[in-house]
A and B are shown apart, each in its own frame.
Chain A
Amino acid sequence: MVCRLMRRGSLLRASLGLCVLAIGVGPAAAQSPTPGGMPPPPGMSLAQSAAMRFPQPVRVGDLLGRQVLQPVESQNVLGRVRQVVREPDGRLMVIVAFGGLFGWGARPIAVPVDAMVLLGQDMEIVAFTPDELRRFPTFAAAGTHVVPDDTIIRVGLAKPSH
């Protein structure tokens, strides 16, 4: 097999390529023409932007404990899903243990489910930056109702960011 490779003359060109590497690593360009998890366009409500993301049925119990990521190439961890609650006005909120280091010193914040998406086994917050989330008040349970594990809710999707 190797002999065939050499005969095709590609070995020579490959070794030329190897020499190129020894001198320097080329600059990079983004792969995806459209990165996933883009924030909603300006002027669009969270509900409207979530509706564009093909919300899929998901069991609340299957969301608990999921990592919550920032939609960037390095997939920074923002926190973990602790709970899903319904506010008195009917809005569904995901309670995220936010910040801290490896979960230590995290505090719960309530993020609208329409600001979040499913990314495989994880979730992402697409509508708020980490800075904005840092200014979120610590979640107070009073007046809200915990959504039971077996409830099916709908959450939008995103493609991986890179």
Chain B
Amino acid sequence: MRSPFRPYTLPDASVLAAHKSLIRSLERRGLIRGGLSLGALVMLTGCDVERPESVESALLAISRFNDRVQAWLFDPNRLAPTYPESMILRPPKFNAYYDVTEVKPVDGTSWRLDVAGLVAEKRAWTLPDLQALPQRSMVIQHICVEGWSYIGGWTGVPLRTFLERCGADLRAKYVSFKTADDYPSSIDMATALHPQTLLALKYGDETLADPFGYPVRLRMATKLGYKNPKWITAIEVTNTYPGGFWESKGFPWFAGL
């Protein structure tokens, strides 16, 4: 099966190789020019530059460094605090990059979960397939990068169990997700194998409601809210950095709690 993550046409790689030195000199020149014009702009306007490129790239470089620090701080054996079921907020808090009125419900009967990349068994999973796997429940705090939080109760298949059933290469770097709402996302393998990382099918004791990602979404106790894609349609195990929706707009990739 072809990976659903690969674009259909790729640019000819030899073009890049042929012009490598030119590209490098362009980058260098751009950096110097960018730095100079930034200084000039600051002098002239008292800084009404929203986000100069050089500042942006410096901040992103530090953010990538922070990703490595975060991965180093992440203890795969440390469990996030759990809470009594009585504290579960029903219904949970909704958030997306669009308002709730734009939610496009997914039909659970025709829904399939594609598996791709470094896995032994590349097949499409149905909802009953997932329901037949061992389930785990957790009542954990959902923490959003915006600052709010709530206690939520989630039930589903531990992602570790699922990856093992797929014969995934558990030494690969990334697990990447595609969703029905065009919200690509990816996580590190250490977090994917964490016991509090679930392919969630239920909230409380009820089937996941449409706005919260029916039929399957990711729920991790060790990452910020935006790392948890809803309406998952494909999973890929890969060593190539897959990025994500908010990550491409500037948010940190690791986003560990």
List chain A positions with a Cβ less than 8 A from chain B.
1, 4-5, 8, 10, 13-14, 16-17, 19-20, 23-27, 29, 32-38, 52-54, 56-59, 62, 118-121, 156-160, 162
Interface assignment of B90: CB less than 8 Å from any CB of chain A: yes
Given A52-B101, A53-B101, A158-B100, A14 and B58 contact (CB-CB distance below 8 Å): yes
Please, how many residues of chain B have a CB less than 8 angstroms from a CB on the other chain? 40
Task: Indicate if the CB atoms of A13 and B91 lie closer than 8 Å.
Answer: no
Q: For chain B, what secondary structure do more than half of its interface residues adopt (helix, strand, loop), or is it mixed?
A: loop
Please indicate the chain B residues that have their CB under 8 angstroms from the CB of A32 in the complex: 97
A20 contacts B38, C-beta separation under 8 Å: yes
Kindly list chain A residues whose C-beta atoms are within 8 Å of the C-beta of B55.
13, 16-17, 20
List chain A residues, Cβ under 8 A from B50: 26-27, 29
Q: Is B65 a contact partner of A5 (Cβ separation < 8 A)? A: yes
B58 engages A10 (CB within 8 Å): yes
Interface flag for B150 (CB, 8 Å): yes
Work out how many contacts link A and B, with CB atoms closer than 8 A.
115
Look across to chain A and name the residue whose beta carbon is closest to the beta carbon of B96: A159
B residues at A contact (CB < 8 Å): 35, 38, 42, 46-52, 54-55, 57-59, 61-62, 65, 69, 89-103, 146, 148, 150, 209-211
Shortest CB–CB separation between residue B2 and chain A, in angstroms?
A: 31
Q: Which residues in B have their C-beta under 8 angstroms from that of A157?
A: 91, 94, 100, 211
Q: Does B89 lie within 8 Å of A120, measured CB to CB?
A: yes
Q: Shortest distance in angstroms between B202's beta carbon and chain A's nearest beta carbon?
A: 14
B150, A121: Cβ atoms under 8 Å?
yes
Q: Mind listing 7 A-B residue pairs with CB under 8 Å?
A: A13-B54, A14-B58, A20-B47, A26-B47, A54-B211, A56-B209, A121-B150
